[in-house]
A and B are shown apart, each in its own frame.
Chain A
Amino acid sequence: MNGLSQATAIKLVLLIEGLAIAIASAEYLAAREILADHGLLSWRVGKFSHRWASSGRHGIVAAPFDYQTFCAVLVARLLAGIAMCVIAIVGYPTPLPSLIAFTATFMIGVRNGLFGTDGAHQMNLVLLAAVTVAVAAGQHGPTALVALGFVALQCSLCYLVAGTSKLVSPIWRSGAALQGIMSTQIYGHDALFKLLTKSRALARGGCWTTIAVEMAFTPLCLISTPTALLAICAMGGLHVTIALTMGLNGFLLSFLAAYPAVWLVFGLIRHAW
C-alpha cells in the first residue's frame, strides 16, 4: 500500500517505544532520590492524596509504591522496555513486556499524581495500551489494525489540539511564548533566548511555524503519500529541535514511536478514499 506492512508497523512501534521506555526508566532510576522519603515526590506524603493508600486496611495495595519497592518497579519497566526492543528485532510476538511497561508507567502516574509527568507519559500510556492489544490479538489481524488506528488518531488529535490551543492564544500569536519559554531554566536555552529577544520577527516566526506544523499534520497526512512524508518529517524535525533546545528527550522517542502507525493508518484511509 505505502511500503509498510501492518506487522512491520507494530514491530517499529514496539522497537521505538521500547527504547523510549528503557531510556525513561533508566533516567528515573538515576533520579530516584526524588522518590525517596526526603524527596520532593515522597510517598510518605504523597500517599495521603489516596484514600486507599493512607488507610491501614489497604497496606498490600499501597506497598508497591514505597520507595524501595517502587525502584524495583522501575527496574522491571526498564527490562520490559529492553524486552520490547528484543522481541521487535527477533520477531517473537508476546504482549507481556508491553503489558508490564504499561502497568509500571500507569503506576508512576498513580504514585506521583500530576506532579512531574508530561506529554511523553501520556503518549507512552496510549502506545503501550495499543501495542499490547495489537501484539496479543495477532499482528496481522483486524484487531491489531484497530489498535494502530487508535494510535494514529491520538497522534493526529494531539497535534490538532496543541496547534489549536496555540492559535487561540495571544501570547503564541505575538511570538512572546517562545521567547518566554526560552528564558526559563527548565526548558530554556540561553543563546536562543538572546537571539529571540533581539529579533521579535524571529520569535513570531518560530511561534507561527510551530502552530502551522502542528495544525497541518493531519491534513497533510490525508492528502497524499508525499505530503504525509512531509508532515512526518516536519513534525519529527520539530521534536528533534525541541529535544535539542529544551531537553525534552522523552517526547522525541515517544512521538516518533507513533509515526509507523500514522503512516500505515493514514495510508489505508487515503487508499479507502
Chain B
Amino acid sequence: MVLAAFQLAELPVGLFFSFWLIATVLRALRRDSAVFRRLGVFGQLVPLWNFFAPTPNTFDQFVLYRDELIDERVTAWREAEIPAHARSLVAPIWNVGKFEAKALIDVVQALMGEVARAKGPHRDLMIRISMAYLLLLNRVGTRGHHPMARRTQFLIVQRDRQRGTLTPTFISARHALEGVSPKDHAP
C-alpha cells in the first residue's frame, strides 16, 4: 500500500538508495573485496558495520623514536606521545583525544598490513613508501630532536595488558633529519 503511493519521480531516489543498501550488504559479505578498494575516496560511502568484530583490537600501540648523533652514538628510545592516553571524565560527551588515538591505531595496523603483504626483493622499499610509514616518519621527524642528531628512527611497541607483555613489532630504517630548527631541540 505504501509502495503503491510512490510516483515515477521517486524511482531515481529509490534506485539510488537501493543501490547504496545493496552495496552495504555486499561489503558485509565480502569485506576485503578489491572492488571496494577501487572505489577510492567514494569507498567511505559504503559502510562496514562490523564494529569490533570478528577480532577486536586488544592491544595498546606505542611509537618510540631515537636519534643517531653525528658521532654515531644513539640516544635512548623515547615515546612520541602520539595518543592521548588519559580519557577525561567528560569523554562520554566531549572526547577530543579519540581522533589521534584512533588514527594511531589505524596507521599502525595499516603499516603492519604492509609488512605482512610486502614480498620480494623490493620489500623494504614497498614498506618505506607506504602511506602509514610516511605518516609515522613525518610525525616522528617533526618532534623534538637532539641538537647533534643527524638521523632518526622509530619503533612500534605493542602492549598486551592482559598478559603484561611489551613486544616490539616494527623498527624503521634510520632517516636523515632535515630542517630541524634549534627551538625543536629537546633538552
Contacts and interface: CB of A to CB of B under 8 A. Distances in A.
A27 B96 contact: yes
B56 to A, nearest CB: 5
A138 B47 CA distance: 27
B10 interface: yes
A112 interface: yes
Contact of B106 (A116, A188, A197): A116
Contact of B53 (A122, A169, A272): A169
B27 to A, nearest CB: 9
A40 interface: yes
A272 B2 contact: yes
Interface in B92-120: 92-107, 110
Nearest to B131: A49
Contact of B95 (A130, A147, A153, A247): A247
A179 B134 CA distance: 33
B79 interface: no
A248 interface: yes
B101 A161 contact: no
A31 interface: yes
B6 A146 contact: yes
B44 interface: yes
A142 B5 contact: yes
Nearest to A36: B142
A46 interface: yes
Interface residues of A, number: 80
A31 B99 contact: yes
A98 to B, nearest CB: 15
Contact of B91 (A42, A48, A165, A247): A247
Nearest to B21: A153
Given A112-B103, A185-B60, A247-B95, A40 B50 contact: no
Most buried by B among A40, A117, A171, A243: A40
A45 B21 contact: no
Contacts of A169: 53-55
Contacts of A7: none
B77 interface: no
A249 B92 contact: yes
Nearest to A130: B17
Given A116-B106, A184-B58, A27 B2 contact: no
A50 to B, nearest CB: 7
How many of chain B's residues touch chain A, expressed as a range? 35 or more
B6 A41 contact: no
B58 A181 contact: yes
B54 A168 contact: yes
A142 B101 contact: no
Interface stretch (B67-75, B81-89, B146-154, B169-177): B81-89
B143 to A, nearest CB: 8
A143 interface: yes
Contacts of A93: none
Given A116-B103, A146-B13, A157 B25 contact: yes
A165 B56 contact: no
Contacts of A252: 92
A272 B91 contact: no
A172 interface: yes
B41 A110 contact: yes
Contact of A109 (B41, B53, B100): B41
B131 A46 contact: yes
Q: Which of B17, B45, B59, B101 has the most CB of A within 10 A?
A: B17
A115 interface: yes
Contacts of B47: 119, 122-123, 125-126, 154, 158
| Closest 7 pairs (CB-CB, A-B) | A180-B58, A116-B103, A169-B54, A165-B53, A38-B142, A247-B91, A109-B44
6 contacts: A34-B100, A38-B138, A42-B139, A45-B134, A168-B54, A169-B53
Given A130-B17, A143-B13, 7 more contacts: A23-B94, A27-B95, A42-B139, A142-B10, A180-B58, A197-B162, A247-B92
Interface of B: 1-2, 5-7, 9-10, 13-14, 17, 20-21, 24-25, 28, 40-41, 44-45, 47-60, 82-83, 85, 87, 91-107, 110, 131, 134-136, 138-139, 142-143, 160-162
